[in-house]
């Protein structure tokens, strides 16, 4: 929900009930709150000049809650009306979210079969697609991204499309997977050449290409299994 700025300077007690995060959450559910409303509900009180909704909007600055992951104590103390107590309250909320995320069980890919289980949906695709699986040093999956979609079995792939996500996720390993809509999992000469080029570029950038799976209608081909990586 977008609020008119004048609402931010009104006492929270004088706002209509349908604008109050607590009442809205009780009536419709916590999942119906916007990022601003969730943050406002978490920090509880505003400042002398802004009510809690205005303070939450000022902290987010048109960003999402995910952007708070990198916010620091110094960043918060620069905001008018926020002292150390309020800043630490906000940082504690952010830290709780980070730790909960870290505790989530991560998928581990230790062999081509594990990889295939993540990308086997490709065998039903009618267009050729390139999917990248990004891992850390422990082979835990950090992300699975579709980086290119082609037509008539042709994919135009830019190296940036592969490596930009590796940088974002702070990944170590990259596993490539693409499908052959016509059915065969046998890699083409172009597939082999492409894999070699990406592997060489990955090494220069500090990443490692761990495997490349070609997904057919009924089976798959692993470059690592065949000693091609």
The sign of the torsion formed by the CA atoms of 95, 109, 128, 227 equals: positive
Q: How far is CA 15 from the centre of its chain?
A: 35
Q: What is the rounded distance in angstroms from the CA atom of residue 56 to the CA atom of residue 50?
A: 9
Are 55 and 76 a contacting pair, CB within 8 Å? no
**pLDDT at res. 214:** 96
Higher pLDDT, 15 or 135: 135
Give residue-wise pLDDT tens across range 71-104.
899 999 998 888 898 899 889 988 888 887 765 5
Mean pLDDT of 224-229: 92
User: Over 14-76, what HEC string results?
Assistant: HCCHHHCHHHHHHHHCHHHCCHHHHHHHHHCCCCCCCCHHHHHHHHHCCCCHHHHHHCCHHHH
Single out the residue of 101, 109, 80 nearest to residue 176, CA to CA. 109
Residue 119 has pLDDT above 90, yes or no: yes
**pLDDT at res. 5:** 62
Q: At 114, is the pLDDT very low, low, confident or very high (cuts 50, 70, 90)? A: very high
Residue 188 has pLDDT above 50, yes or no: yes
Domain annotation for the chain: domains and CATH numbers:
5-103 (no CATH), 112-222 (3.40.140.10)
**pLDDT at res. 116:** 95
Half-sphere exposure of 51 (CA within 13 A, CB side): 20
Tokens representing residue 207 in the block: 């990443």
Q: At 18, is the pLDDT very low, low, confident or very high (cuts 50, 70, 90)? A: confident
Give residue-wise pLDDT tens across range 124-164.
888 899 999 999 999 999 999 999 888 545 566 778 889 99
**pLDDT at res. 152:** 44
Tokens representing residue 205 in the block: 């950038």
| Nearest-10 crossing angle of helices 159-169, 189-205 | 40
**pLDDT at res. 121:** 92
pLDDT-above-70 percentage for the chain: 91
pLDDT-above-90 percentage for the chain: 46
- Between CA 178 and CA 217, with CA 172 as vertex, the angle to 5 degrees is 15
Listed range (40-54, 148-162, 164-178) with the worst mean pLDDT: 148-162
Higher pLDDT, 22 or 4: 22
């Amino acid at each position: 929900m977008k609020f008119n700025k004048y609402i931010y300077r009104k006492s929270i007690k004088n706002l209509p009930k349908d604008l109050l995060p607590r009442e809205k959450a009780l009536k419709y559910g916590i999942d119906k709150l916007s990022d601003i409303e969730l943050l406002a509900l978490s920090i509880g009180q505003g400042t002398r000049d802004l009510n809690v909704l205005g303070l939450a909007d000022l902290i987010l600055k048109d960003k999402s809650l995910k952007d708070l992951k990198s916010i620091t104590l110094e960043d918060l103390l620069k905001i008018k009306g926020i002292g150390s107590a309020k800043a630490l309250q906000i940082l504690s909320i952010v830290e709780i979210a980070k730790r909960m995320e870290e505790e989530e069980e991560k998928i581990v890919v230790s062999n081509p079969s594990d990889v295939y289980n993540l990308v086997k949906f490709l065998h039903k695709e009618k267009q050729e697609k390139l999917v990248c699986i990004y891992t850390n040093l422990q082979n835990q999956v950090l992300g699975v991204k579709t980086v290119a979609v082609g037509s008539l079995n042709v994919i135009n792939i830019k190296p940036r499309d592969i490596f930009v996500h590796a940088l974002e996720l702070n990944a170590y390993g990259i596993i490539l997977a693409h499908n052959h809509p016509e059915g065969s999992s046998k890699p083409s000469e172009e597939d082999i050449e492409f894999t070699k080029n990406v592997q060489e570029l990955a090494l220069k950038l500090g990443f490692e290409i761990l495997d490349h799976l070609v997904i057919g209608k009924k089976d798959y081909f692993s470059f690592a299994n065949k000693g091609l990586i």
